[in-house]
Amino acid sequence: MSEKSQKKPSYKGSAISPPNIAFSKYWGKTNHELVLPANDSISMTLGSIYSHTTVEFSPQYDQDLVEIGDQNHSPQPVAGSKKTRVTTHLARFRKLASIELKAKVVSQNNFPLGAGIASSASAFSALTAACIAALGLQVSKKRQSILTRLAGSGSATRSVFGGFVRWQKGRESNQSYAYQLFPADYWALADVVLVISNQEKKFSSLQGHSASAQSSLTNARVRQTKLDNQGLEQALAQKNFAALGKIIEKQMYLLHAVAMTSNPAILYWQPGTVWVLQQVQRLRQQGVQVYATLDAGPNPHLIVEQVNAHRVIEYFKNSQYVQDYFCCPVGRGTRFTSKHLF
């Protein structure tokens, strides 16, 4: 046998995936290891921003290597817990494909990390899809969504699909997956993200999910979210923006009420956050249909019909609190690409 034919093969694949913004929130789990959420959640997938990730399993690596870059930085090696979250997921795929090869992962985001956009959702959905492509696994979208959920950032499971998406909580792992409610071109909404702070938050969402179990408001939030999911689906079906926006904003306040009354108490808001929330109420009094939501952080996401995005951006962009902003339309979900990063 020639040396060439004895060489072990390499497996390389790439994918592109967007973040998403939750209209109803995932905050608290019934099973931490399996990432089973306490309630269903509904989101909008964001367009124009994404993570592009390439994974190569190859005998040329004697350990896993992980590099991450963003709009302002080319990919740099990461270590510590950031790396461990990725390598744990790689190990899951090695087991699935019955291989032992180490891998190199390079991930490039076209937006700044730490800008209040859920980069873990785009990152882990892109990583999962790149592993699927690299190893040539034949999986359904449902299975892809389950594998993405297991990466640890539960909200990533919703990014697999474009448009408006629901993640059903499920009682066991193979019942907890996302599916599309309406495609990306169904309704021209936009998410105007205002960057108040790009500092790394003191409490990760991982800590927040655990701490939420200590809040006496958690059960009430979960109960209310069941009703709000019905209301959101109805508002989406009827394209009733006011009804949709009211629930989106209430869901944000519910999440943050739980966070503030958790143990430890978590306050993600900053003065600029409160100022924006007040201005959003003022804008509505002036007849502008805009509603605010927040992830686990201080940076407001303003949900508008796309025709009103310009007016909202003009209102906020020069404020003393707003360092930067992004306007994201409704986007497509995770997709495979033949464009490799290395």
149 near ligand PMV, rule: CB under 6 A: no
Rounded to a whole number of angstroms, the minimum distance from the CB of residue 204 to ligand PMV is 8
Sign of the torsion angle spanned by Cα atoms 24, 201, 20, 81: negative
Nearer of residues 26 and 164 to ligand PMV, judged by Cβ: 26
Q: Is the peptide bond before 9 cis (omega within 30 degrees of 0)?
A: no
DSSP secondary structure code for residue 178 in this structure:
E
Residues 201 and 62: beta-carbon distance below 8 Å: no
Residue type (1 letter), 296? A
Among 153, 176, 212, 334, binds ligand PMV (CB under 6 A): 153
* Residue 119 binds ligand PMV, judged by CB under 6 A: no
CA angle 5, 11, 17 (to 5 degrees): 165
Name the helix (H) or strand (E) containing 57.
strand 51-57
- Under the binding rule (CB under 6 A), the answer on residue 23 touching ligand PMV is no
299 binds ligand PMV (CB under 6 A): no
Binding residue (CB under 6 A) for ligand PMV from 296, 304, 312, 341: 296
CB-nearer residue toward ligand PMV: 20 or 54: 20
Site residues for ligand PMV, 276-295, by CB under 6 A, read 295
* Residue from 39, 205, 215, 293 in contact with ligand PMV (CB under 6 A): 205
Bridge pairing between strands 189-195 and 301-305: antiparallel
d(CA 279, CA 40): 30
Q: Which is nearer to ligand PMV, 125 or 308 (CB)?
A: 125
Is 129 one of the binding residues for ligand PMV (CB under 6 A)? no
DSSP conformation letters of 63-116: S-EEEEEETTEEEEE--HHHHHHHHHHHHHHHHHHT----EEEEEEESS-TTSS
Which listed residue (125, 155, 225, 308) binds ligand PMV by CB under 6 A?
155
Q: Which stretch binds ligand PMV (CB under 6 A): 70-78, 94-102, 148-156, 218-226?
A: 148-156
228 part of the interface to ligand PMV, by CB under 6 A: no
Binding site for ligand PMV (CB under 6 A): 22, 25-27, 41, 118, 120, 153-155, 205, 295-296
